[in-house]
Structure formats: C-alpha cells, structure tokens
Amino acid sequence: MSVRVSAIRVGRSKDVPFAAAVYGAAGDEKIDIHMFMFVIEAAGTRIVVDTGTLDPEYVRRHHPYAFVRTPEELPETALREYGFDPDDIDYVVNTHLHWDHCSNNDLFRNAQILVHRRELEYAMHPLPLHERAYEKLPGLQAPWMSAWDRTEALSREQQICPGVTVVPLPGHTPGSQGVLIEADNGRYLLAGDAMGVYENWNPNDWRKSIAPTIHTNLFECYETFEFVAGLDCEVIPSHDHRILDSALFRHSVRT
Ligand SMILES: [Zn+2]
C-alpha cells in the first residue's frame, strides 16, 4: 500500500523547560518545542493531522512561550512548498484542541474536521487550569471554533481510508487521539501530545514511559501507553524535531 507522509514544521517555542514536557523531570534543562503539521496521502485521500498555531505575535501575547516562525514556516507557504493546496485537503484530524494543534483549521476550506467527542466537550468546559491551553479566554474565540460547522465528533476508533485509522489516546486531554498509519515499510502512530517528545515513551516497556506534564488523567495516560504498546508500531511524538529521522518521512520531498 502506498502511503506518503510529510512532516511540515510551522514554528517552534524556544527554551521551554524540559519539565514542562515530561512529568516529574528534575533539573533546569531547556528544549525547543517544535510545531508540526502532518500531511498523509493514501488511497487518493489527503489528510492533515494538526494545524499548528497563529502568528508569533499572537502566540506571545496569549501564551508564556518564546514562539518563533521563519517566513518559510508560515502554514500556507509551507504547505505549498511541499506541493499541497489547502483546498485539496479532504480531512483534518485534530489530535486534540489545545491552541497549538488546531489554530489553522479554517485554512482547509473543503475539509471535514475530525475531533473526539470528549475533546469537544472538555474544550467548552475545561478546568480553569487548562483554559489558556484551549484559549477559552475573555475576548478570544477558541481556535477550533473557526471551522466548527465542518467538525465531526468521533467517539471511537475510525478508519478514514485504507491504511489510516484514528485511535483514541486519552490522558493528556480527555479526547486526545492519534493516527495509526500502515505504510509499506511498517506501522506508525502520530501520537499527538500523548507522547509530545521521545522521552515520554519507552518502546521496550510501556510501564517505564513517563506521562506528559500536562494531563487531565494520569491513569488514562498509562492505559494509553499500554494500548500503544499493543499496536506494535513506531511512535511519532508531536513536538520532537528528531522525528525527521524516521523512515516514515523518507518519501517526504519538497517539490
Ligand atoms: Zn496538548
């Protein structure tokens, strides 16, 4: 089966404490949190997974991150550089509705937006602690609402097309989900923030994986780790630049 996946970087938050990504991490190590959009081409279908952030000035105004973006990393520019027209995208999967995963949904005017039902419910009524992550703030419209009329709520595992299946991965948020890809060189999971960086995931023993620092249910985080271990796949974290070395993106060529 021919499946092609591209990882398109659309900016990064610089010098974020490592402890903000890996629960209980000690020390003052800093890392860059990379923002990616993924484009999957399979069986004549084009699917975008996560849509990134708005512009750096907006991000810095509303979030405590030193977010930067080169002109080439502007989402529409980057997509076209890779040969994709946003109008040709059939589906957008939001792994969850945190601000850095769904802020350009409206760019994909002809796409159906696939979000887990529990995520939509929580995005409307998050704990105060999580309101900023959903941009549920006075004077702001939550970013996922820009395409709410094209949004479909999923409540379970769902195949989008042969080789591409959305799977629930709760814990980071109530309705987190990932995308399982059957490529000709193996199985891969776009994991969203269930595993934001490689240090969240231990491929040899899921019990030694470490939950993301931001989570709504620690027990679900570990049920998700056990579930992922059973998928027998390579995990692709959402925010880790080292994913670009994965064989999944071997066919990813800029036009
Ligand atoms: Zn998140």
pLDDT on residue 252: 57
For residues 42-48, average pLDDT: 96
pLDDT band at 176 (very low <50, low <70, confident <90, very high): very high
- 237/239 Cα distance (integer angstroms): 6
**C-alpha of residue 71 to centroid of ligand 1, in Å:** 24
Is the pLDDT assigned to residue 253 strictly greater than 90?
A: no
Is the pLDDT assigned to residue 23 strictly greater than 90?
A: yes
For residues 76-98, average pLDDT: 97
* Global pTM value: 0.96
Domain 3-165+239-249 has CATH 3.40.50.20: no
**C-alpha of residue 100 to centroid of ligand 1, in Å:** 7
Is the pLDDT assigned to residue 139 strictly greater than 70?
A: yes
Contact status, residue 108 vs residue 89, Cβ threshold 8 Å? yes
In this structure, the strands spanning 177-183 and 186-190 are: antiparallel
**C-alpha of residue 255 to centroid of ligand 1, in Å:** 31
- 99/142 Cα distance (integer angstroms): 8
Is the pLDDT assigned to residue 119 strictly greater than 50?
A: yes
Contact status, residue 39 vs residue 3, Cβ threshold 8 Å? no
**C-alpha of residue 238 to centroid of ligand 1, in Å:** 9
For ligand 1, an ion, list residues with CB under 5 A.
98, 193
For residues 71-92, average pLDDT: 97
**C-alpha of residue 184 to centroid of ligand 1, in Å:** 29
For residues 5-26, average pLDDT: 95
Percentage of residues in the chain with pLDDT exceeding 90? 95
The more confidently predicted of residues 119 and 64 is 119
pLDDT on residue 255: 42
User: What single string gives the DSSP state of each residue in 171-209?
Assistant: TSSTT-EEEEEEETTEEEEE-GGGGSSGGG--TT-GGG-
3-state secondary structure of 15: strand
Q: Where are the domains of the chain?
A: 3-165+239-249
Is the pLDDT assigned to residue 247 strictly greater than 70?
A: yes
What does pLDDT average to over the chain?
95
For residues 222-241, average pLDDT: 98
pLDDT band at 250 (very low <50, low <70, confident <90, very high): confident
**C-alpha of residue 172 to centroid of ligand 1, in Å:** 7
- 109/87 Cα distance (integer angstroms): 6
* pLDDT tens track for 177-210: 999 999 989 999 999 999 999 999 999 999 999 9
Give per-residue burial for 142-155: e unless 16+ CB within 10 Å, then b. Answer: bbbbbbeebbeebe
